[in-house]
Amino acid sequence: MIVCVMASKDNGYKYLKWVSETKIGIVTQCCLSSNAYYNAKDQFLANLCLKINAKLGGSNMELMERLPNFESEDNVMF
67 belongs to a structural domain: no
SS (H, E, C) 40-69: CCHHHHHHHHHHHHHHCCCCCCCCCCCCHH
9 belongs to a structural domain: yes
pLDDT of res. 39: 72
What CATH code is carried by the domain that includes residue 18? 3.40.50.2300
pLDDT of res. 73: 57
Higher confidence at residue 13 or residue 67? 13
Name the domain count of the chain. Answer: 1
Cα separation values, 2 from 7, 17, 19, 24, 62, Å: 16, 10, 12, 11, 26
pLDDT reading at 78 higher than 80: no
pLDDT of res. 74: 64
pLDDT in tens, 15-67: 999 999 899 999 999 999 888 877 778 888 888 889 999 999 888 776 667 66
